[in-house]
A and B are shown apart, each in its own frame.
Chain A
Amino acid sequence: MAKRDELIPLYRQLHLIRRFEEEAARAYAKGRIGGFLHLYIGQEAVAVGANAALRADDYVFQTYRDHGTALARGSSPRACMAELYGKDAGCSRGLGGSMHFFDVANNFYGGYGIIGGHVALAAGAAYKSKYAGDDRIAMCFLGDGATNIGGFHEGMSLAGLWKLPLVVVIENNAYAMGTPMSRTTAVTDFTTKAVGYGMASDRFDGHDVRVVQEHMAKAIDRARSGGGPTLLEVMTYRFRGHSMSDPGKYRTKEELEERKKRDPVKLARQALLDLGMNEEDIAALDAEVEAEVQDAVDFAENAEPAKAEAMWQTVMAPEDL
């Protein structure tokens, strides 16, 4: 019972992210959303499992593939969808768009578009915790491809040196845009990169949300209790193209179908059934999620467009000089 009750909200989040992303893709195809749209479909268990192990007051940083993480943190689907639609009610007031979700109320410190730079930002948030003597930790997500850029290494180096309460999570989805790992890195076990920076590490499967939560919790505990940073490599896979404009010709249909057998949403659903939850109750949950996502789309469709005043007023922060 306890296990089932714990899993229900996680399944709900997984399913919510999945349905949110599917609707986002649909709106994009209809021209309601523009720019780059990087979907999280296939990787949902990473953000949901991580969030289940995090405290609400911990700091979270993500790349441009950020919708799932914001939703897992508790951002409202309405605000997220409105952001994609470029509306004033969006989580970044329509100024950031898909790649730049921010929701400080839920300690989601943003989606970043330039590879690597946000690792040091997360280390900086962790630095503040150490400075203030509080026990909030910082978590930073990045892709496998991002491990090749200097920003990642400098962030890791400083976090290791200063034993910062940071968890760096590599979401290894096997590709950096169209490039497989074999052509981006000489060492494919990313945890080896922790060694040189004096960091702990762990490597695990990212499809079963409970497994993710369990491993995340260990790293988070270490950071919170003064044990320093950890580098995590989570083995995952994206079921869609890199972004909406990527037809994904670099991988085979067979590979994709094989990977889809380990669909994190389906795995969690099956786990609920195995734990004795019945189909009707799951269907009721699904219907709730469906209504929430539809509501988000309706809200975004009808919301006010982004405002010029907001654009001008947010160039500089207000002063209290």
Chain B
Amino acid sequence: MRTIRYRDAVREAIAEEMERDERVLIMGEEVGHYQGAYKVTEGLLDRFTDKRVIDTPIAEAGFAGIGIGAAMVGLRPIVEFMTWNFSFVAFDQIVQNAAKIHQMSGGQISVPIVFRGPNGAARQVSSQHSHAVEPFYCSVPGMYVVAPSTPRDVKGLLKTSIRSNNPVIFLEGETIYGVKGEVPDLPEDGADGELIAFGKARIAREGTDCTIVTWGSPYYTVLEAAEVLAKEGIECEVVDPRTIRPLDVDTIVKSVEKTNRCVVVHEHWPYGGPGAEIVDQVQSRAFDYLDAPIGRVAGLDVPMPYATNLEETVLPTVERVIDAVKGVTYRS
């Protein structure tokens, strides 16, 4: 094992898969000469040349479409959105083409493409640059939605995503690019390295009193809250689903059967989305095990304000997680 940063893990996954498969290429704004807006693709242009590391103009709908078209006839593009906020101008290509072509062609054509980039609020980037986009994409059948929180998960899941024969919405986190964590040693030449399967949750912390389901950036907020709660004698079990679609409901339900309480913590808005979906799945499968209504900590139901004093209150905080857990465990 080695310790590397999240952004390095993303880069390693891309590089290993490009090395392995000639059909893999990466395109997006500033991925090449600039070395990536968030330095994720640093060094890749030198290593793989501008045939495979392609700087695009600001034309998300165009290059998302080019990626999909190329995937339809045999390439395996990775399309980087500088941030997921800019994917909305390519929404039509993703939802109407990438997600639909396999079925509407009667299964003749597959679309092996990865759309990836940082998701969610950064710091004070305000209204138009702070979207947690998972609710928009996870409601669409025909795609995977992946949202890893640790370096190891991001690497293993990105490798799987690149090898997948289907479109993948791959959500990274700007605020966690610098997070360090253990990953397996670099694979020997020609070896596969670690691949992590879609639809398998990971228990990040074991506990008996309350299950907390979370992913992406809030994962770290939850771990911090769980530490504090443990000191007060409340042991939380933290379940990171890692993929939003498919969702590993079995692992979540198993945990709830043990703890009899559940809180879902996410950055996206409270109306709908995976947060609501998880609540629905748990109540329908584990109703008899629940000792309290399922709690939820979400981003507040407002466009993201710029001012830091307000932004801090909009995002899930350690305090809000603690309150929610105390609420469902009836301790206050």
Name A residues whose Cβ lies closer than 8 Å to a Cβ of B. Answer: 34-36, 83, 86-87, 92, 94-100, 112-117, 145-146, 148-151, 176-179, 183-185, 250, 305-306, 308, 311-312, 315
Q: Give the shortest distance, in Å, between B268 (CB) and chain A (any CB).
A: 16
Task: Tell me if B33 counts as interface (CB < 8 A to partner A).
Answer: yes
- Interface residue ranges of B284-327 to A (CB < 8 Å): 301-303, 305-310, 313
Give min CB distance, A174 to chain B, whole Å: 14
**CB 8 Å contact bits of B166-207 with A (1 = contact, 0 = none):** 000000000000000000000000000000000000000000
Are A35 and B124 in contact, CB atoms less than 8 angstroms apart?
Answer: yes
Taking a contact as CB atoms under 8 Å apart, the answer to whether B61 and A96 are in contact is no
Contact partner of B128 (CB less than 8 A), chosen from A87, A113, A308, is: A113
Contact with A along B122-136 (1 / 0, CB 8 A): 111111110000000
Q: State the CA gap A309–B282 with chains docked (Å).
A: 35
What are 5 A-B interface contacts by the 8 Å CB criterion? A113-B127, A116-B89, A145-B57, A150-B89, A184-B58
Which residues of chain B are within 8 angstroms of A116 by Cβ–Cβ distance? 58, 89
Chain B residues whose C-beta falls within 8 Å of the C-beta of A35 in the assembled complex: 122-126, 306
Residue from the list B61, B127, B306 in contact with A150, Cβ < 8 A? B61
Most buried by B among A83, A95, A99: A95
Cβ-defined contact, A97 with B126, below 8 A: yes
Q: Given known contacts A36-B125, A149-B58, A150-B59, is B306 in contact with A178 (CB within 8 Å)?
A: no
Contact of A146 among B34, B37, B58, B86 (CB under 8 A): B58
> A97–B125 Cα gap in the complex (Å)?
8
Chain B, residue nearest A83 (CB): B306
**Contact at B303–A306, with CB atoms within 8 Å?**
no
Known: A95-B305, A184-B57. A34 touches B123 (CB 8 A): yes
Q: Sorted from nearest, which 4 A-B pairs have the closest CB atoms?
A: A97-B306, A86-B307, A306-B307, A35-B124
B-side contacts of A148, CB under 8 Å: 57-59, 62
CB-CB under 8 A from B85, the residues of chain A are 113-114
Chain A CB count within 10 A is highest, among B58, B122, B125, for B58
In the complex, chain B residues whose CB is within 8 Å of the CB of A145:
57-58
Q: A34-B124, A114-B88 are in contact. Are A95 and B30 (CB under 8 A)?
A: no
The answer to whether A94 and B33 touch (CB under 8 A), given A100-B128, A145-B57, A149-B58, is no
Q: Is B209 an interface residue (CB 8 A)?
A: no
| CB <8 Å contact, A305 and B307 | yes
User: Taking each of B55, B122, B126, B307, which has the highest tally of chain A beta carbons within 10 Å of its own beta carbon?
Assistant: B307
Q: A99-B126, A179-B57 are in contact. List 9 more A-B contacts (CB 8 A).
A: A87-B307, A95-B126, A96-B306, A113-B128, A150-B62, A177-B37, A178-B33, A306-B305, A306-B306
Given contacts A34-B123, A100-B128, contact A305 B309 (CB under 8 A): yes
- Known: A146-B58, A250-B33, A311-B310. Contact between A36 and B305, CB under 8 A? no
Q: Is the CB of B309 within 8 A of A306?
A: yes
Q: Is B29 an interface residue (CB 8 A)?
A: yes
Using A95-B305, A250-B34, A311-B305 as known contacts, say yes or no to A183 and B126 having CB atoms under 8 A apart.
no
A115 contacts B123, C-beta separation under 8 Å: no
| B89 adjacent to A114 (CB under 8 Å) | yes
The answer to the question of B80 belonging to the interface, with a C-beta cut-off of 8 Å to chain A, is no
* CA A83 to CA B62, docked complex, whole Å: 35
Residue B60 interfacial (CB < 8 Å): yes
Which listed residue (B34, B57, B60, B306) contacts A95, Cβ 8 A?
B306
Instruction: Assess whether A149 is in contact with B59, with CB atoms less than 8 Å apart.
Output: yes
Of the candidates A35, A98, A115, the one having the most CB atoms from chain B within 10 angstroms of its own CB is A35
Q: Is the CB of B129 within 8 A of A36?
A: yes
CB atoms of B58 and A114 under 8 A apart: no
CA distance A184 to B123 in the complex (A): 29
Which among B57, B122, B128 is the interface contact of A185 at CB below 8 angstroms? Answer: B57
Closest to B306 in A: A97
Closest chain-A Cβ to B90's Cβ sits at a distance in Å of: 9
Given contacts A146-B58, A177-B29, contact A97 B124 (CB under 8 A): yes
- Nearest opposing residue in chain B for A151, CB measure: B89
Q: How far is the CA of A311 from the CA of B305 in the complex (A)?
A: 7
In B198-241, the 8 Å CB interface with A consists of: none
In the complex, per-residue mask of B45-85: 1 if CB is within 8 Å of any chain A CB, else 0: 00000000001011111100000000000000000000001
Asked if A100 and B89 make an inter-chain contact with CB atoms under 8 angstroms apart, the answer reads: no
Q: How far is the CB of B313 from chain A (nearest CB, A)?
A: 7
CB of A248 to closest CB in B, whole Å: 10
B30 A177 Cβ-Cβ under 8 A:
yes
- Cβ A177 vs Cβ B128 within 8 A: no
Q: Is the Cβ of A178 less than 8 Å from the Cβ of B308?
A: no
- Residues of A close to B128: CB separation below 8 A: 99-100, 112-114
**Across the interface, do B129 and A178 meet the contact criterion of CB distance under 8 Å?**
no
A residues in contact with B126, CB < 8 Å: 35, 95-97, 99-100, 113
Closest residue of chain B to A37, judged by CB?
A: B124
Given known A149-B60, A185-B57, contact A178–B34 (CB-CB < 8 A)? yes
Give chain A residues whose Cβ lies under 8 Å from the Cβ of B30: 177-179
**Bound CA span A87–B29, Å:** 33
- Report the minimum CB–CB distance from B219 to chain A (whole Å): 23
Give the chain B neighbours of A151 by CB distance below 8 A.
Answer: 89
Residue of B62, B303, B308, B310 near A308 (CB, 8 A) is B310
Residues of A within 8 A of B307 (CB): 86-87, 94-95, 97, 305-306
Assess the B58–A115 pair: CB atoms within 8 A: yes
Residues of B with C-beta under 8 A to A308: 310, 313
Chain A nearest Cβ from B220, distance in angstroms: 20
In the complex, chain B residues whose CB is within 8 Å of the CB of A34: 123-124, 308
